[in-house]
Structure 1
Amino acid sequence: MSRVAKKPVALVKGVEVTVQGEMINVKGPKGTLSIAKPAGINLKIENDQAQFSTNDPALVPMTGTLRAILANMVKGVSTGFERKLELVGVGYRASMQGKDLNLSLGYSHPILFTPPAGITITTPSQTEIVVSGVDKQLVGEVAAKIRGYRPPEPYKGKGVKYSDETIIRKEAKKA
């Protein structure tokens, strides 16, 4: 069996994992998440740990994937996830208008972004955006969508970048 799948998922205090038919539900202080469990994969919960197992060799890779997803769900409902973005460039600004994010990224018009349900966007300063939520996949998807409005360019580094991202610069053309 997969080495990832053999490792049990530690259930943090205040997090409750239940299996209803083919659905796994995770409930915690920050919210509730659920995922479909494929037939043939077993989930056993005891001593504040969740353990996956299967007898089908074809489902071994899926068991490891499901274990990693459940670990992220447990972390999400207990502490949550966040992604930080930075705006680099003269006149590039971000501000909140109610629940919508207003971006000025050098285009002739401002960009108004409405976050999906379960995602919270804050702007600590005009050049910083913090995307946070319970679902790791959705937080990453929203951050990537915001970054996609003006990805950083390689010559001056202008654009929307992740705070931990390093932009590899190109040398300008020589005369």
Structure 2
Amino acid sequence: MSRVAKNPVKLPAGVEVKLAGQQLSVKGAKGALELNVHSSVEVTQESGELRFAARNGDQQNRAMAGTTRALVNNMVIGVSQGFERKLQLVGVGYKAQAKGTVLNLALGFSHPVDYELPQGITAETPSQTDILIKGIDKQLVGQVAAEIRDFRPPEPYKGKGVRYADEVVRRKEAKKK
């Protein structure tokens, strides 16, 4: 059995889980998420915990049980606490401004970049050079952060660009004569 799948997912107070066939829905204070559980994974709910097991013991099914456990754990954390990802803009004249569901970015191009945020994601700009992306779906929060970073990834010579707050940019030395 997968070592990840052996650990049960503890359900905090205020989180409700419904299992209907292979459809798992998690509801909490911040919202609700759904997941189609793979047919090779068996999910059981007992005394405030969710347990995962492979229906038969081959390697692929054990791996799928561990993957499902990790996905459900992220759903439980998302609906109870939420996820956030912080981005920093480094460069002269680089600015960000959140207006409703649109994030306006000035990244040194000849035109401003308007990024439409998907449903379930919010963006805050505590300062002009900081972006805070929040949501309940971990995968979607990371995807949105990656798409914003892709507009202007950090370059290795001056370090200018959009970077994650915890990212370390490897710097290169300029060419010598």
Report the TM-score when normalising by structure 2: 0.97
Q: 2:108 matched to which residue of 1?
A: 106
Q: 2:173 matched to which residue of 1?
A: 171
State the 4+ residue runs in structure 1 displaced beyond 6 angstroms. none
Name stretches of at least 5 consecutive residues in structure 2 with no aligned partner: none
SS at match of 2:74: helix
Q: 2:88 matched to which residue of 1?
A: 86
C-alpha distance in 1, partners of 2:100/2:122? 12
| 1:6-155 paired onto structure 2 within 5 Å | 6-56=6-56, 57=58, 58-155=60-157
Output the amino acid matched with 1:149.
F
C-alpha distance in 2, partners of 1:37/1:82? 25
Deviation (angstroms), 1:54: 2.1
C-alpha distance in 2, partners of 1:14/1:119? 22
Output the amino acid matched with 1:31.
G
Contact 2:40–2:64 (8 Å) recurs in 1: no
Output the amino acid matched with 1:109.
H
**Post-superposition CA distance 1:29-56 (Å, at most 9, x none):** 0000011011132111111110011231
Contact 2:30–2:81 (8 Å) recurs in 1: yes
C-alpha distance in 2, partners of 1:149/1:31? 30
SS at match of 1:24: strand
Output the amino acid matched with 1:163.
A
Deviation (angstroms), 1:7: 0.5
**Post-superposition CA distance 1:96-148 (Å, at most 9, x none):** 23321100000000000110000001100000000000000000000000000
SS at match of 2:173: coil
Q: 1:162 matched to which residue of 2?
A: 164
Name stretches of at least 5 consecutive residues in structure 1 with no aligned partner: none
SS at match of 1:172: coil
C-alpha distance in 2, partners of 1:17/1:64? 18
C-alpha distance in 2, partners of 1:104/1:51? 47
Moved more, 43-52 or 153-162: 43-52
C-alpha root-mean-square deviation of aligned residues, in Å?
Answer: 0.8
Task: Give me the identity figure in percent.
Answer: 55
Deviation (angstroms), 1:22: 1.4
Relative distance call for 1:118 and 1:172 in structure 2 (3 A) is same
Aligned length: 175
